[in-house]
Amino acid sequence: MINTKLLDEFGNRFSELLSHSPARDMEKNARALFASLVSRLDLVSREDFELQREALQRTREQLSQLEARIAELEARKS
C-alpha cells in the first residue's frame, strides 16, 4: 500500500521547490506586466457604462421627438 506520509512529504518538498523556482518569478512578472497594461487602458466600470448607455438612449429619444416636432412645424408652415 502507498505510504501517505511519504507522499505528503514529497508534495510539501515539491511545493517548496516550486515556490522558489524561476517559474514563480516569471508568474509574478507576467502578472505585474498584465496589471500594468490593463491600467494603461481607458476602461470604465460596468455601472458607468450602463449609466452612459441609458443617458444615450434618452438623448436619442429626445432627438427623435424634436425631429418629429420640427417636421410637424415645417409641415404647418408650408
Q: Render the burial of 5-40: b for 16+ CB within 10 Å, e for the rest.
A: eeeeeeeeeeeeeeeeeeeeeeeeeeeeeeeeeeee
Is 0.85 surpassed by the pTM of this model?
A: no
Same domain membership, residue 72 and residue 37? no
Sequential pLDDT tens for the chain (78 residues): 456 777 788 778 877 777 777 777 777 888 888 888 877 888 888 999 999 999 999 999 999 999 999 999 999 987
Same domain membership, residue 33 and residue 57? no
Same domain membership, residue 50 and residue 36? no
- The reported pLDDT for the residue numbered 2 is 59
Same domain membership, residue 48 and residue 15? no
Same domain membership, residue 33 and residue 56? no
In terms of residue numbers, what domain contains 59? 44-78
Q: Total domain count for the chain?
A: 2
- The reported pLDDT for the residue numbered 51 is 97
Same domain membership, residue 50 and residue 20? no
Same domain membership, residue 48 and residue 13? no
